[in-house]
Structure 1
Amino acid sequence: MNRIDQLFQAKSEGILNIYFTAGYPSLEDTNTILEALQSSGADLIEIGIPYSDPVADGPTIQESNQQALENGMTMHKLFEQLQGFREKVQVPVVLMGYFNPVVQYGIEAFCEKCREVGIDGVILPDLPIREYTEVYKPIFEKNGLHNVFLITPQTSEERILSIDANTEGFIYMVSSASITGAKSDVTDVQKEYFKRVNAMNLKNPRLIGFGISNQETFEEACEHAQGAIIGSAFIKLLSQSENLTEDITAFVKDIKGKK
């Protein structure tokens, strides 16, 4: 069974998914961050594939993408770093990126490499669902990869149902129509959106992302979904860290309210 499915079978609430950009802050930090996130209690880890034009992301993640590219991070380098990481990391790991670099690498080659190193799922925000279902779905399924789609407050009910039918693992529930970035609270408009989607009784669990930055926003998001995704706030921590392992441990424990 896919590790993402195992996670949601074993745990139905309070799931913490943390995003970081591969090759940031330094080129060879990928495995250090993965291991520190697992040991500190992250339930799921999302590795960002650096891209020169990450349109859905705010300034913090954009800057981390730029720095990672300047550090020399490439898709080939990332897969090289991930070779053997499953000897130490058991939690589900997904790759998040944009469709263009995946096409350049080769869709089939990309999916096969994900399977080979032990990746459980992929998030490609700009991959159209119709193109996925008509062309690429069999390749993902053959390699045991879950393809995770995003929904926003503007996503129609018809499209949400289509996404739910063609998604495995979980649905990435974007909290607002803005770009990524840490925010301080959850608005009434967002709460209405969360309630509307919950009332649809979708088959897939949901994780809320965009704007989750601390224990308060994490817990509030968890009231409306099975868990939440933290990205920009974690990237900021990495940018200021002098000891990655210690600082990551403190960050995750703080989010989860553990001393």
Structure 2
Amino acid sequence: MVNRIHPLFQDSPKNLLSIYFCAGCPNLEGTADVIRTLEKNGVNMIEIGIPFSDPMADGIVIQNAATRALRNGMSLRLLFEQLQDIRRDVHIPLILMGYLNPIMQFGFENFCRKCTECGIDGVIIPDLPFKDYEESYKAIARKYDIRVIMLITPETDESRVREIDAHTDGFIYMVSSAATTGAQKDFDIQKQAYFKKIQDMNLRNPLMVGFGISNKQTFDAACSNSSGAIIGSRFVTLLNEAGGNTEKAIKKLKEEIGR
């Protein structure tokens, strides 16, 4: 089976919308339904969050979603069960986003094998150091054709960005600021200069911008210097406000970002 990430960027390289949600929140059984509804509403790629008790890179909205999901009884094992048949009718790239701890407890090779069985295309592990990825994880991920997506921030120096670009595949997750996730009203000149600087490096991998995108200004600013935007906190908030009604939440979000 061909990995779905590459064709996405080849076929529609601009203004892509990727949505993050936390599996098991607001409802334990809602995972597959959220994914299907998002695809039906024109979302290009989905990041499925694996809830963890100590999500360092995340702001309060996603922290609360993770806590709620864990209270609901969500686990990695259960998540894989829920994703078992997802590829019968879902065709867009699916990415799992989670911290190293639950993945290590599951066993990394076992994790990659399960990802392949469910049709997961890539993983984002915010607390996996690049050096560890290179030494201990890259070969296993390759074996199962799982793309490990690396994050870069305004603090990542140019040589490290080039190294990440050379040794990973899929896309590069450009974090808009060194802070945690959460909605922002707009991106200042400094952030936009950083997006442009990275875009001007002409990297091999496409770029997606995440953290802080919640309205038309931030969505457009992200898309002007990358292939598209990843929206998490704002969607999670809308999903909670809609009582778990994905259709309502994604329609409202698309209205807010003018898409």
TM norm structure 2: 0.97
Distance 1:184 1:250 in 2: 19
Contact 2:183–2:211 (Cα < 8 Å) also in 1: yes
Distance 2:80 2:187 in 1: 36
Cα-Cα RMSD: 1.2
Deviation at 1:29, TM superposition (A): 0.9
- Unaligned 5+ segments in structure 1 are none
Distance 1:246 1:97 in 2: 25
Distance 2:25 2:246 in 1: 14
Cross-structure match for 1:140: 141
Deviation at 1:257, TM superposition (A): 2.9
1:89 aligns with 2:90: yes
> How many residues in Structure 1 have an aligned counterpart in Structure 2?
258
TM norm structure 1: 0.97
Cross-structure match for 1:53: 54
Cross-structure match for 1:116: 117
Superposed CA deviations along residues 64-83 of structure 1, whole A, max 9, x for unmatched, are 00000000000000000001
- Unaligned 5+ segments in structure 2 are none
Cross-structure match for 1:162: 163
Superposed CA deviations along residues 17-49 of structure 1, whole A, max 9, x for unmatched, are 000000000101101110110000000000000
Moved more, 131-140 or 45-54: 131-140
Contact 1:37–1:248 (Cα < 8 Å) also in 2: no
Deviation at 1:245, TM superposition (A): 3.8
Secondary structure of 1:37 counterpart: helix
AA aligned opposite 1:191: Q
Distance 1:215 1:106 in 2: 40
Distance 2:244 2:130 in 1: 41
Contact 1:21–1:49 (Cα < 8 Å) also in 2: yes
Secondary structure of 2:154 counterpart: coil
Contact 1:15–1:226 (Cα < 8 Å) also in 2: yes
Distance 2:243 2:232 in 1: 19
AA aligned opposite 2:201: M
Distance 1:243 1:109 in 2: 31
Deviation at 1:220, TM superposition (A): 1.6
Contact 1:37–1:252 (Cα < 8 Å) also in 2: no
Contact 2:26–2:243 (Cα < 8 Å) also in 1: no
Contact 2:38–2:247 (Cα < 8 Å) also in 1: no
Distance 2:185 2:121 in 1: 31
Distance 2:257 2:184 in 1: 18
Distance 2:144 2:250 in 1: 32
Superposed CA deviations along residues 60-106 of structure 1, whole A, max 9, x for unmatched, are 00000000000000000000000101112110000000011111000
Moved more, 189-198 or 176-185: 189-198
- Percent identity among equivalent residues? 51
Moved more, 133-142 or 16-25: 133-142
AA aligned opposite 2:185: S
Cross-structure match for 1:69: 70
Cross-structure match for 2:198: 197
Moved over 6 A (4+): none
Distance 1:242 1:131, change over 3 A: closer
Cross-structure match for 2:105: 104
AA aligned opposite 1:254: E
Moved more, 249-258 or 19-28: 249-258
Deviation at 1:238, TM superposition (A): 1.1
Q: Which runs of structure 2 are paired with 1:1-259 in the superposition (5 Å)?
A: 1-242=2-243, 244-255=245-256, 257-258=258-259
Distance 1:169 1:178 in 2: 24
Contact 2:26–2:244 (Cα < 8 Å) also in 1: no
